[in-house]
Structure 1
Amino acid sequence: MTFCLADAASMRLLASRLDAAAEEISRLQGASVAVGLPLTASPELAHYEGPLRNLVEWCHSSAAEIRRRAAVAAQADLIGWNPTGDNAAYDALMTAAAGGLDDQLAAFDALGAEGDAAAFFAALSSVQALGVALARAAQVGARAGVPFELRFAANRQLVRQAHAEALRVGDKATAARYAELLNPDRQLLLFDPRGLGKIAEVKGDLATAKNVAILVPGTGNSLMNYVGGSEEILEAVHKGAIGLSADTATILWMGAPLPQGLGAAVFDLQADRGAPQLRTFVGDLRIAPEVRTTLIGHSYGSVVTGHAVKAGLRADNLIAVASPGWGVESADELNAPETKLFAMRHQGDIIKLVPTADETLGMFVPLPDSIAGHGEDPVYMSGVQRLSSGSEAHPVFGIDMNAHSDYFGGSQAGRLARLNLARVIVGDDYETYEEARAAL
């Protein structure tokens, strides 16, 4: 059955009318049609019992199908039809709502979680592919093998849904944040508003990039403060990298909850949980082997990246910025002999004064390394090159309360730190801490 209706509201109205008709037929027949009992009316009407029962079943099944289509049409309503703009997404969803993509949607559903999404979408026309991606946004947005442009479209649709829900409940602040994420320039590889939220955003052309950097931010970051917060780190690092090589894509990943306070940050729990998700996310990007990849963790984000590399994530470069540790006592424990290891820390960063949990709580309660503490400081670890952060002229023993977040621009030292990170990302000559100290 194919329907072509104006909008979701019309579909829902028709579905309710069909259900009402079925109920009225059943009522008039004394419920006999619904339960298959003989009609109580005259014998002349007995032969109508079967057709009426079939009609009731048809009304209910048709109503259910129309509601399924109405749910798809409601997704089109979130986009709206623009009389002067690009209506490709709206038209694709309305085609799906009208039944024009039934075969393709059924085939996608039949793939299951392990099916070859790349081959599936490659066999579709552009309209079909977009319609399936939008109609199944929750399944497509983070799926391996789906073309990046379709993942962007699917995650944009998920943001539209979250934005509409925020407006429905009167949460204007959240709606305003999601409205920012609907900017046409945004490219989201992951979006989930539940709990602390999940997001991954990319700058640049990931499909053609020769250099790819993946950033993981630290304690206190969540979807709630992403806009105007860690998104600025993404923008700053990407700007620095493309200044050296335009063939660069930069991703910020928050695909697992981060500690929201310093107390939770001394424990490995969220790094242990987040590491497999980061490894899967990067693996699902299917980056070509010849592309230079750089994994950068800032603060607790470096704990996550360390655990991910130890769990099998492979990158050409691993950089710990303002790190409490990778969760290992030596570089060998990362089990990544082909990965170049770097660490960066400002002279005045207070992170250097933070003891590990096993050094403090361990005096009173034995804490295994797998639970608390983040191992050796990467800047002192053998096999790790310490990068210049631009702060080498500052007092070694001084403390700057702003230093911990100043690696991506802002101060002169922050700009130099960002430049040095960009050099590693694109494969240029970088400056080590020792070289910067010797030049003073």
Structure 2
Amino acid sequence: MIRQTTAALLPLCIIATPAHAKDENLDIEASVRVRVEGIDGQFRPNTADTGAVLLRSQVSAEYDAGPVRIGGEIQDARVYFDRQPSSVGTTEVDALELIQAYVTAELSEKAELQVGRMTMDWGSRRLVSRQNFRNSTNAFTGARFDWRLSGGNNLTLFWTMPQDRLPNDREGILDNEIEPNRERLEQQFFGARGVTSAVLHGVSLEGYVYRLFEEDTPSFATRNRRLWTGGIRLLKTPKVDAVDFEVEAIWQEGKARASTAAADRTDLNVTAYFVHASVGRTFAMPWSPRLVLSYDHASGDGRGNGYGRFDTLFGARVFEYGPSSLYGPIGRANLISPEARVEVKPSKRWDGYLAVRPLWLENATDSFASTGLRDASGATGRYAGTQFDFRVRHWLKPDRVRVAAGAAVLAKGNFLSNAPRAPDNGDTHYGFMEITYGF
């Protein structure tokens, strides 16, 4: 089905016209990405096997006026030709949206304050991120204060209102309808984050505490989450002929409701956690192969009176769990999963990886990760299956034109094959090809 094709070409025409700034302090960047995807053996209940064309166009500009910088960014994210019913939602569709509009003031050589609409991409990106693979991205409205200390240490304080991506109704999403995103005081996200590189030689330490507060409004149903999320992260970055590692531990508590249903008025005590550990080594040989072994453990919700399912807030998952979009069965909730991964970089223009990841439920009675499948009795057990995925990328023209392709196979285990509402259609297969043009 072709929807609003003429409207979709408008942002492309704007981007295809080169922008020449008369003032050397004005910086303008733009990009267009076209991706073709396909999935069969769908793991989601009541969702069709389908293909789709995803289009994302971005234009950003920033004017540097000395101690003050003024910037903005428009993103246009659309989907075409998907077969219904599909899983396409606001993570794929967000047409012609002003995701950034900010003023940044340099208060001193070491401190700056940013106010307005902004995107944020911090640390491991497991809790706060700007999405790259995903068609649309998280964005926030508020203020952030950055203090750069000596020795590579820094501190960030922030208060924001996450933007609700619109439209969020099925008809509006299918029509790639243009509707401005909104922020609201009933949803607030704030906290602090600090990073130091002085722990050990080559090892950095990150610590943070975040608060998410939300309430229902007549137009937005929520789980009324009031969560405190705190964590620490140790990181040694990869280097040739050396061992690298990463350890991150996150604790979450507060209150939330089990669902967004209007009739659900019960506030549950939340106690949840997530742990990631990985170790890798880059070998000094052709293609610079890097072998990485990792382990992820995210709590699920049990049968008690509280709520134990971990909430990844505004985090990304593609860099760790394979493609999302029409695929994306793995998320940081009710998950136990090791992974073995091999990364290669034959040249400055080529890179790729191959990974295998077995999957188990942390709690047999909770919904598994991001699949929407649950066996409240726990009778189908905890083994979900095994994922195999790969990706390869190549710069046709360095920093301008890049092509990428990838695929994933989800070999379904007993849970994904036999849980209530699980599709009886064999293993899941997914693939994509994309080209990105930036200037």
Q: Mark yes or no: TM-score above 0.5.
A: no
Of Structure 1 and Structure 2, the greater strand share is in 2
Higher RCO (C-alpha under 8 Å, 6+ residues apart): 2
TM-score (norm. length: structure 1): 0.29
Of Structure 1 and Structure 2, the greater helix share is in 1
Larger radius of gyration: 1
TM-score (norm. length: structure 2): 0.30
